[in-house]
DNA sequence: TAAATTATGACAACCGGTCTATATAATTGT
DNA sequence: ACAATTATATAGACCGGTTGTCATAATTTA
């Protein structure tokens, strides 16, 4: 099959590195060194090179975050409460970039969106899938479909931004403020 | 003196490139080529190399955005209206990355915040200065100081996020949604 | 003119992604 | 069972581009 264990190993390592360091700061040498794989394996498993690895890494991260998000969103029935849990989860993992969860795809998205249409689309679809998760939660709780879609987009954007600023300022305050304002934002 | 015209020229070129492409994707060769300056000038004007250029570029961009922001915010007395103008301004300049205005510092912030404390701090201070501008506008219009500070942070984060997602999705919808929701977000 | 400052382009050391050439394992045919 | 062929896996060489240095030229100042 096309998917050996070493392939997945490379992909997981690459995903973490791309999230934390970004596309250009992450070299193939670093990926193979940290994953313990031999150099030659890269172009065997990913014949199209770095761009292919990044593409699959974005899709992979998109899925991981989707699952984590889904778990947190279904933990409570109340949309406000569960969304606040999502934010709190980000706060908790702020200083631990070794945990993949919570570090966004925003960096690689901004880096590549004006460079590779393939990568741009992959990032865009990850964003959209997260937005849809938020919207669905609101629809379940009686929001009209159009309104839920709007709020899903707004919430995902706001999360992305607050996370960016919190990381940059090395301070969870932006995320904590967002958490407190969620009841105000989620209004039918 | 330390500030010749060629120095400023290099700085302006570098600022644009760092904003659009990011830190690691922008090489010194590209900076000197696009600015028309000779290679040697870089290390004459910026003896500490790339990191120094990036640092000054972030400070420079922070100031430019601050001025543009201030202009737009003072155009209308009503805070909702003027904030919506800020968002509209971003929408208008979405597809024109050649205009510096509107392209954020988010990319270089995410790229460098886990790499250089100096750069992280510079980006952080740019963010803070923008947040303060929003907060001041609200204070002028009767908001309590603490509440205005909260909202200033929230607004700047949300703008950053919506811009990131709009650029990535090549679609101004996230920004347009944010614009419509501003009256809802700005509540005392 | 002499000295000090300002400015410059050629050069070196290095690191990146890519690819080729080769070794090992699996599969197939006879 | 053994040979031939294909598939899998790997190490290292290559080329282009990166940052940074430095000896020297141009310009200003005394």
Q: Tell me what pLDDT residue B1 has.
A: 43
What confidence score (pLDDT) does residue B54 get?
98
The answer to whether A56 touches A118, Cβ cutoff 8 Å, is no
Residues B132/A81/A84/A108 CA torsion (nearest 10 deg): -120
Q: Which residue of B has its CA nearest to A180?
A: B150
- Tokens representing B77 are 């007395």
In degrees, rounded to 5, the angle at the alpha carbon of residue B152 between the alpha carbons of residues B175 and A103 is 65
Nearest Cβ partner for B106 among A110, A120, A173: A110
- As a whole number, mean pLDDT of residues A150-177 equals 98
Mean pLDDT of B86-100: 85
pLDDT of residue A181: 98
User: How far apart are the C-alpha atoms of B71 and B28, rounded to whole Å?
Assistant: 33
* Nearest-CB residue to B168 (from A21, A113, A154): A113
Judge contact between A101 and A65, C-beta under 8 A.
Answer: yes
pLDDT attached to residue A99: 67
A153/B174 Cβ within 8 A: yes
Identify whether the C-beta of residue B141 lies closer than 8 Å to the C-beta of residue B79. Answer: yes
Q: A54 vs chain B: nearest CA distance in angstroms?
A: 15
CATH assignment, B54-185 = 1.10.357.10
What average pLDDT does the segment A25-34 reach?
A: 96
What is d(CA B163, CA A58) in angstroms, rounded to the nearest whole number?
20
CA of B45 to C1' of C7 (A): 10
CATH number for the A57-185 domain, one of 1.10.150.120, 1.10.10.10, 1.10.3720.10, 1.10.357.10?
A: 1.10.357.10
Contact state of A181 with B113 under an 8 Å Cβ cutoff: no
Using the predicted structure, report yes or no on whether residue B164 has a pLDDT greater than 80.
yes
Range of lowest pLDDT (A98-102, B41-45, B63-67): A98-102
pLDDT at B100 over 80: no
Asked whether B65 and B101 are in contact (CB, 8 A), the reply is: yes
Q: What is the DSSP string of A83-116?
A: HHHHHHHHHHTTT-TTS-TT--SHHHHHHHTTT-
pLDDT band at A2 (very low <50, low <70, confident <90, very high): very low
Residue keyed to tokens 């990191």: B51
pLDDT in tens, A65-119: 999 999 999 999 999 999 999 999 999 998 776 666 667 899 999 999 999 999 9
pLDDT: is A6 or B18 the higher one? B18
Domain-wise residue ranges, chain A = 57-185
Q: Using the CB atom, is residue A188 less than 7 Å from strand D?
A: no
Q: What is the mean pLDDT of residues B1-28?
A: 90
């Amino acid at each position: 099959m096309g998917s050996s264990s070493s392939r997945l190993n490379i992909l997981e390592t690459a995903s973490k590195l791309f999230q934390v360091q970004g596309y250009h700061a992450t070299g193939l040498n670093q990926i193979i060194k940290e994953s313990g794989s031999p150099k030659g394996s890269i172009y065997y498993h990913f014949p199209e090179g770095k761009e292919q690895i990044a593409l699959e890494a974005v899709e992979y991260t998109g899925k991981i975050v989707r699952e984590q998000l889904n778990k947190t969103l279904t933990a409570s029935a109340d949309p406000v409460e569960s969304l606040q849990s999502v934010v709190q989860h980000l706060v908790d993992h702020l200083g631990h970039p070794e945990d993949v969860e919570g570090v966004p795809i925003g960096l690689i998205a901004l880096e590549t969106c004006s460079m590779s249409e393939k990568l741009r689309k992959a990032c865009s679809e990850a964003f959209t899938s997260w937005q849809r998760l938020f919207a669905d939660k609101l629809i379940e709780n009686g929001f009209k479909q159009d309104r839920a879609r709007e709020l899903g987009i707004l919430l995902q954007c706001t999360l992305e931004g607050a996370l960016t600023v919190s990381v940059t300022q090395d301070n969870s305050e932006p995320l904590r403020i967002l958490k407190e304002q969620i009841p105000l934002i989620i209004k039918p």
